[in-house]
Each structure stands twice: as C-alpha cells, then as structure tokens.
Amino acid sequence: MTTRSLENLTFPRRLLIEQGGPGHRGPELPRCDVPAVPIAELLAGITLRETLAFPEVSEPEVVRHFIELSTLNHHIDRGFYPLGSCTMKYNPKINDEIAALPGFALAHPLGPDSANQGALRVIFELQRLLAAITGFAAVTTQPSAGAQGEMTGLMLIRAYHRSRGEGETRVKVLVPDSAHGTNPASVNLLGWETVTIPSDERAGVDLHALSRALDSTTAAVMLTVPNTIGQFERNILEVTQRAHAVGAQVYMDGANLNALVGLVRPADLGFDVMHINVHKTFSTPHGGGGPGAGPVAVARHLEPFLPVPVVVERDGQYTLVHDRPQSIGRVHAFHGNFGILTRALTYILTLGPEGLRRVSRTAILNANWLMRRLAKTYELPHAEHCMHEFVLSGKRLRKHGVKTLDVAKRLLDFGIHAPTVYFPLIIEEALMIEPTETETLDRLEHFALAMERIAREATDHPDLLLNAPHDTPVSRLDEGRAARELILKWRAPLGPEPASTPETVGRR
Amino acid sequence: MSFTGLTTHEEQRMLREIGVGAFDELLDAIPERVVLHQPLPIPGPLSEIEIRRTLGEWSRTNAADRAVSFLGAGAYDHWIPSAVNAVAMRSEFATAYTPYQPEVAQGSLTAIFQFQSMIAELTGCDVANASLYDGSTATVEAALLARGQTGRKRVVVAGALHPNYLGVLRTYLDGRDLTILENRGGSCAALDLRAGLGPDVACVIYQHPNFFGLLENPRGIHAMAHEVGALVIAVCDPVALSLIEPPGKAGADMVVGEAQPLGNPPSFGGPMLGYFACKQSLVRRMPGRIAAETNDRDGRRGFVLTLQTREQHIRREKATSNICTNQGLMALRATIHMGLLGRQGMRDVAELCVQKSHHAAQLATAVPGYRRAHDGAFFREFALECPLDASAIVARGMTAGILPGVDLGQFRPEWKRWLLVAVTEQRSAQEIERWVQVLADAGRTS
C-alpha cells in the first residue's frame, strides 16, 4: 500500500456486474399482501429459469455508477454540438416537465377514449399545428422516428398509386446522391428500386438527369429541403412540377425543417407528403440516440390512406377512429411516441408564430456567419448563401497527412462536439456544420477560433491532431478491434467474488 | 420566446460580416412566390405559467391521474424506482446525441453495453442490440431478418400474438406471405402449427406469455419450426423472463419484445422500448445500433458503436434495416432499473405479479357469471369472460376510480365479453378487492 501513488488509488470504474455481489441489493419490494402460494404450483408445468446472472449492487452504488457514467458524455447542456443534419438545439426543460405529468405519463393506450381525453387532445392539437406549419391537409403522429416516417410516407404513396390502378407499374424512386442513407434504405423496404440522381455543380438536383429518369414507372421523387449541403433547392418548383407531370408523387425528407419554419411551407413547394423529425426541429431531447418521433404530413389526396387509428374531434370530445377502409394499417403498436409529441406541442405553444419564425431566421443567420468566417480557413465547396447548415471540405489538410476525422477528434479537446463528418458523400472529407439558433455569437466565435487553431496545428504540429483527442475520458478508441472481436456483452457473469479482480476503465 | 441568443446589434454586425445588407438577401434561392409573409396561424406564445395551466388541465382530464389501473395488453403499470427518474433525466444522458464520437460518449455507450448484456442474459440469447422502436417493430424486424437469412418468404404467426403487433406486421409485409394460425384454447395448438408449416416458411413467431397472458410451450414450437428449417422468433415480456426459462436457452433463434415494463411509464403507449436479441450466427443481420467493447490507444477499456456497415448511413439501400434513431433514453432507464432491482429484485417483481394476478383471478371467478376465458398457466395477465360486455364493466369501473381491464371487444367483436386483466406488483390486496367489487356490482346490474 505504501508504495502506491495517488493515481493508482483512484477508485476504478467498473461495470455493474463487476461490483457488489451476493448479499448486496437495491430498493426492496413490499411483502406479498395476498395469500402466497408456491410459484411452482401456480405455474405448474412451466419450466422456470435456473439462474439470472444479474448485478447485485446497493442503490447508492448503482446511482454513483450512472452518475459517473453521465460525466463522461458530451451533451447540449454542456457545450456546442454542431452536428450537421441533427439540429442539436437547446431542449427547453418545460418540455420534460409537461411530458412527465402523471396524467400523461401514466395514461394507458388501450383504455376507453373517455379515460384519455387529454392525451387524445394533445395528439389532435399537435397534428393541427404541424399541418398549419407545413401547409398540408392532414398529419399522422404514429411513426416513431424519421426513418419510420419515410417508410410510412412511401407506403401512403404506394397506396395512392394502387388506388389508381398503377400499383404494379410504379416501382422506382428517384433520390439525389446527396440524400440521407435512410432514403434509399426505406425505398428498399418497400421492394422498390432506388435510382440515384446526380447533383449539378451548385449541389442542386440535376434537372436534365431528373427528366431523363422520370417516367411512368416512377412512384416518387424524394428530396431533402434544404438539401444536405445546406442549400435551398433553387429549382424546386420545377422539380415538383416535372415529377407530377409524369404522375409521380414528391416526398420531402423533413430532417432540415429547422431552416423553413415560418418562412416557407413545404406544401407550397409542391410536395405531396413529408415527415417531420420533431426531435430536431421541435426541440424534444435526443436522449442519447432516441426516442424521436417522425410525424408525417400529407396533401388531401393522401389522407384516406393514413395509418389507423386517427383522432377525430366532435363537440370537444376526442375519439379514436379505426374504420378507415383505405388505410395502410398500423405502423406502431399504439399511438406513436406520445411523450415526445407532448414535448413538441409544448415547444410550439411556447414559441408561437413569431418565435418559430425567429428560430429559422436565427438558425440561418448563425450558419451563414460561421460559414463566411470558416471559409477563410477551410475549403468551402459551395459558395452560395446557405440555409441552416453548410459543408466544408477538409481536403486541403491532406498534404499534412491530416484527415477530417482528425479535425473532428481534435475539436473534442476544446469541449466542442465534432460536426457530422464524411457526409454528404458528394463532398470529399466533408465537415457538415449546423450551429442551430440557440447558440450565441460568443459560442460561434469560440468554435471558429478552435477550428482556426486546428488548421494551424495541422500545419505546425500534425501529431496533435493525429493523436487527438487528448483531454477526453478515453483517447481514440480502436473500432477495428471492436468489429473484429465483437464483444457485445459482459464476459464474466457473477463469479464467486465478482469484485475481486476487476478489469478497470481507469487502468494504465 | 424562441431560446435564441442574439441581440439586434449582434444581428446587424453578423449581417455586415457576412456581406449582405439585409437578412432577406440570404434567402435569395427561395422563389419569391412561396415565401410566407403572414405569421403562421397557430396559437402562442405561452409563458411557462400558461403552459403549465393549459396542458396541466388537459393532463388532468386523463383518468390515469387518479384511477387504479388493471390495464396491460402490451403496456404495463410497474413500479419504477425513484432513482431511475432522478438519474435518467440528467442532461448528460437526455440531451446527448447518438454516440457517434465515442471518446465523449462513454456514458451512453457503457450504458448501452450493459443494456445489451442484461437483455442477452434475460432472453438467453448470445447477443442483443441497443433497442428498436417498440415490441411490434422489433417483431417486424425479426421477421424481415428471417426472410433475408433463409431466402424464404412465408411468415407464420402461431398462437395469440398481440393484435396490434399483427397489424404492424401486416402493414410492413404488405399483407403478403403471412399465415396466421388459429388460437385454439387461447394458445398455440401443436396440430395447427404442424399443419401450417412447410419448406417455404421463413420463420415462426409466437408470443410468450401470449396476448392473453398464457404461457406457451416453447420447446414444442421450436422443435416443429426447426424441423422444416424455419427460424423461431419468440416475442417475450422481460418481466416474465426473469422467472421462466428463457426461449434463447431453449433454442429460439431470436427473442424480441417490449421492454417498457422495465423502468418506463406507459405514456399512452409511447415512447416504448423494443428490444432485439438473437443467436451469434445472426449478428451481422441484426437491425439497429450495437455497442461493443474495445480499448483506447492507452489500453483503457472503452465502448464504441460497431458493425455500422450494416446500417443505412453507410450501406444505404443495401442496409439490413432503415432504422436510425432508436429508443436510447428508454433503454438507459431500463438499464438503471435492472441494475437497481438486480438478481433478487427482478425475480421478486415477477413472483409478486404471479401471486397477485392469480389471487385476483381466483376472487373474480368466484363472482357469479365470471370465468376465465382460457385454461392454462398464465403470467400477470388473464382474459376474464364476463356476464356482460366488457365495455360496460370498464364504464362501471371508471365511476369507482378503477380501470378494470382492457376491453378486448375493441379488437374483435367475438371478444366483446372478454376483459383482459393485468395485475402487477403495484396493486395492493385492497385495490384488488375494490376491483372485484366492481365486477360484482356490474354483474348484478346485467
């Protein structure tokens, strides 16, 4: 003991299974207040499990474990998070408080409508507000996330084509090469074929290529507006018109709606259907990777096909209606991610029309300021004004042996999350930056200074980048080993003395 | 209010530095005729005081705020230890994004790794993923995996699968190559299953305990399915799994389901927590995110997302699934919940559910006119055949502050006298007596 340095005395971080042991336990349950019968008798004929190799740890230690883990995360309440396409804006705390109200949190999805009037009203009102914001006729809030919204939207399109006797012939979907990966993946889920449309020199849809690909077998065109380069599609009215001219439907990926709220309504651009990532635009937290919600808004001609049940209001009473013969059916076991929808409604009501308009205007202003500032240091492939985000290329740094990934990792040392990297695929060494409207000028300047310093370091001390990050809970992790060895769960379930020989995170 | 942080002065400075005279110049790519000049026709802004008042009022019109619940059917009222809320709502977890930069996301990743470990242990499977949307979509993803793996089309549903899960399955499969076998006596009957199988079957799906709460015979189902080369998908309740033999140990190829009962409130049916576990041999086809252990450059243990080449952002139309966002925060809650309850607590909850639900069934069937709709062992939940429409009992219960069960008539007209009753560890003996009183009162008026 006497020879141990202070560093070696740091209490090691261990997984729960490596802590505690037999005899330790967390909070207890009440004693059984009904006449107890042996389980083997109640469940006669059923094979029970022999062991459950679960942790045995006291409540204070479980709490400490997770609180310690929490300190290892970057998050929006701690610092800047310019992750392009993800809209990492501040999440107002009132959202969580409202979703946690017992009347909402404990509501059961299969009770009678009379027991759930408040919950149904939340869904009904949110649908109405989302319709007003997007300009569409109707909204379903059932899809759980953007990708499920895409799939739902495509199914609505398929149902529409079928209703017109074109279900068998319209089997391909045109998707630009700058699109999110979920677009082609969703198309594939329907058994349709993706046709990739190249971008023109201004990162817009190449109209000639589009026209060549459009024909009577086209089911839909899927577009992200603004696109993933952060540019508003200049020819959008032309694109939607040409698609409609051959009988195709036009789908908008609403991942970037944060640029348009109160400025432009997607329905006015000629779209037939879109999804909305409420965890992006409408500020519900991202939760470390979900839950989100992906409501889908549609023009009048697609409304009959919406998932069941739908919420209907009559004389202040809300009811769930299942009898919709043309519906595509359900896409969720119940009514979608209600707790997330409640947060989105809270946010929209908090901001109101003027506040929402200010969201998009400020997001656009922040992005443009940052883009012009960083264009002095990094290559900017598309020099037009951007909307809410923009994409830089790190390829100038290549001559120093430095990649975009190294820039991303070095940023972590400055308490800043990395931008989205290597996406969109049409830009080499892409750095996709979305500052959002909730950042102050101070924060933007700090980020710009960090990026500028990193560019200098790339020239003068490339090792600083290649070995980054330096000031994070762990250094660069070996993703190759992870994929090779595929250790996907803890290896040592409870042994006789699980805490005796821990393999520790803090080990040097 | 828009939570923005720029003064007018700063905005002017920024516009100058960008090199434009006015903000609208930044919008030059937008066709003038679609630019909105009117404010959106929506209410607000509302202050926190007004929001609390308005939405608080709406929330109180839900019976959940005051009624004692015997509702289940896929969403349950289980005990959630206080520490779950306190820890999970921390900003560090709630306001983080997907852990794409693992060096600053070890908190989320270490939690996901432990979630996977505990789900694998519960289900008896080799591996589990980081979560999916809900039990229904987890079931769908499993069926799609089975089709890809076997090269066969037909999906067989054996026994009583949740009607809404069946609905979602129908939507995703476009109603094609889907065979639904009869629920004889409420559970999967061997003779129906054998007749429904053939060399074109990709998978057999069964729920265990099934929609009516009945425990199935997993080993019998597995043997028959495997005989024709089909994969087996067990849709399981995780609370039951802490007591019964896990289907993964009994040969199921995939075990999936709804983990809301672990630390998550019903929340009107969402966000829920789909889980997905399978054999090691299927891991490269598994949908969704997966965390794996590795080390950093200094040899310290750490965790990363792995096998991302299966996923849509890399693989695009060739991805194993289109899923991107999952249910991270719900999975974290479940991980804290399972960590707190531990080996003993998990079992205690399951045993209390068995004791209390059997006690309730015994009392209810002693009331004239009521009987269980099915024979056979059940876990936590049972269908009660009533002397009158279940909807009338629900209405009666509402007046007594009790939500007495799920009216199964909402799923099928021939089930309109069936009440699906769930009794968790949360229900006291006294509450069960009040519930029996509702049944008795309703029975007398019929």
Domain containing residue B373: CATH number: 3.90.1150.10
B25 lies in a domain? no
Tokens of A431: 């750095």
The reply to whether A328 touches chain B by the CB within 8 Å rule is: yes
Are both B272 and B383 inside the same structural domain?
no
In this structure, what CATH number is given to the domain that contains residue B153? Answer: 3.40.640.10
Reported as a pLDDT band with limits 50, 70 and 90, residue B323 is: confident
pLDDT of residue A7: 58
3-state helix, strand, coil in chain B (%, to 5): 45, 15, 40
Are both B286 and B419 inside the same structural domain?
no
Contact B62 A358 (CB under 8 A): no
B28 lies in a domain? no
Report the residue from A119, A290, A439 with minimal CB separation from B268. Answer: A119
Contact B51 A350 (CB under 8 A): yes
Contact A372 B19 (CB under 8 A): yes
> CA torsion, points B404, B410, B412, B416, in degrees to nearest 10?
40
- pLDDT average, residue stretch B228-238: 98
Residue A187: which of A204, A205, A171 has the closest Cα?
Answer: A171
Q: Which residues of chain A have pLDDT under 50?
A: 1-3, 493-508
Contact B339 A117 (CB under 8 A): no
> A355 with A162: CB under 8 angstroms?
no
Contact B51 A346 (CB under 8 A): yes
Tokens of A147: 């990708």
Q: How far is B438 from chain A (nearest CA, A)?
A: 16
| First CA to last CA distance, chain A | 18
- Chain A residue with the nearest C-alpha to that of B8: A362
Are both B356 and B305 inside the same structural domain?
no
Q: Which ipTM did the prediction report? A: 0.96
Report the residue from B2, B36, B101 with minimal CB separation from A351. Answer: B2
Q: What structural domains does chain A harbor? A: 120-351 (3.40.640.10)
Report the residue from B51, B351, B377 with minimal CB separation from A98. Answer: B51
Tokens of B363: 């009392």
B438 lies in a domain? yes
CA distance A363 to B276: 38
Residue B24: which of A361, A440, A366 has the closest Cα?
Answer: A361
Residue type, A62: V
Contact B73 A110 (CB under 8 A): yes
Interface A:B, Cβ pairs < 8 A: 702
Is the per-residue pLDDT at B178 higher than 90? yes
Contact A441 B14 (CB under 8 A): yes
B315 lies in a domain? yes
- Residues near A478 by Cβ (< 8 Å), separated by ≥ 6? B294, B295, B296, B297
Are both B330 and B399 inside the same structural domain?
no
Residues of chain A with C-beta less than 8 angstroms from the C-beta of B343: 52-56, 494
| Final residue of a structural domain among B337, B359, B374 | B337
Contact B377 A42 (CB under 8 A): yes
Between the alpha carbon of residue A384 and those of residues A23, A201, A426, A452, the distances in Å are 66, 12, 17, 22
Print the domain residue range for B203. 82-337
| First CA to last CA distance, chain B | 56
| Final residue of a structural domain among B309, B337, B365 | B337
Report the residue from B40, B316, B330 with minimal CB separation from A291. Answer: B330
- pLDDT average, residue stretch B282-291: 95
Residues of chain B with C-beta less than 8 angstroms from the C-beta of A333: 74, 134-137, 162, 164-165, 168, 258, 269, 272
Domain count, chain B: 2
Are both B88 and B119 inside the same structural domain?
yes
> A57 with B338: CB under 8 angstroms?
no
Tokens of B65: 């705020």
pLDDT of residue A9: 61
- Other beta carbons less than 10 A from residue A303's beta carbon: 17
pLDDT tens for each residue of B367-380: 999 999 999 999 99
B26 lies in a domain? no
pLDDT of residue B312: 74
Q: How far is A217 from chain B (nearest CA, A)?
A: 19
Q: Report the percent of chain B where pLDDT is more than 70.
A: 100
Contact B319 A181 (CB under 8 A): yes
Report the residue from A111, A335, A356 with minimal CB separation from B403. Answer: A111
B47 lies in a domain? no
Contact A66 B6 (CB under 8 A): no
Report the residue from B6, B270, B325 with minimal CB separation from A146. Answer: B325
> 3-state DSSP call for residue A12?
coil
- Chain A residue with the nearest C-alpha to that of B264: A105
Are both B187 and B253 inside the same structural domain?
yes
Cross-strand bridge partners of residue B385: B371, B418
Residues of chain A with C-beta less than 8 angstroms from the C-beta of B412: none
Are both B68 and B100 inside the same structural domain?
no
Are both B310 and B396 inside the same structural domain?
no
Phi-psi region of B12 (alpha: psi -120 to 50; beta: other; left: phi over 0): alpha
Contact A25 B242 (CB under 8 A): no
Report the residue from B314, B377, B395 with minimal CB separation from A45. Answer: B377
Are both B273 and B190 inside the same structural domain?
yes
Residue A87: which of A419, A353, A410 has the closest Cα?
Answer: A419
Contact B432 A34 (CB under 8 A): yes
B30 lies in a domain? no
The reply to whether A168 touches chain B by the CB within 8 Å rule is: no
Question: H or E element: which one contains B442?
Answer: helix B429-445
Contact B265 A106 (CB under 8 A): yes
pLDDT of residue A8: 56
Residue B57: half-sphere exposure toward Cβ, Cα within 13 Å: 5
With 0-12 / 13-18 / 19 or more C-beta atoms within 10 angstroms meaning exposed / middle / buried, residue B197 is buried
Are both B100 and B246 inside the same structural domain?
yes
Are both B114 and B177 inside the same structural domain?
yes
Report the residue from B23, B291, B330 with minimal CB separation from A365. Answer: B23
- Chain B residue with the nearest C-alpha to that of A105: B267
Are both B289 and B191 inside the same structural domain?
yes
Q: How far is A90 from chain B (nearest CA, A)?
A: 8
B114 lies in a domain? yes
Tokens of A316: 């202040």
Between the alpha carbon of residue B105 and those of residues A288, A474, B291, the distances in Å are 9, 10, 12
pLDDT of residue A10: 63
pLDDT tens for each residue of B140-174: 999 999 999 999 999 999 989 999 999 999 999 99
The reply to whether A316 touches chain B by the CB within 8 Å rule is: no
Report the residue from A33, A121, A155 with minimal CB separation from B58. Answer: A121
| Final residue of a structural domain among B311, B337, B363 | B337
The reply to whether A157 touches chain B by the CB within 8 Å rule is: no
Task: Output the pTM of the full model.
Answer: 0.96
**Is it true that the peptide bond before A424 is cis, omega within 30 degrees of 0?**
yes
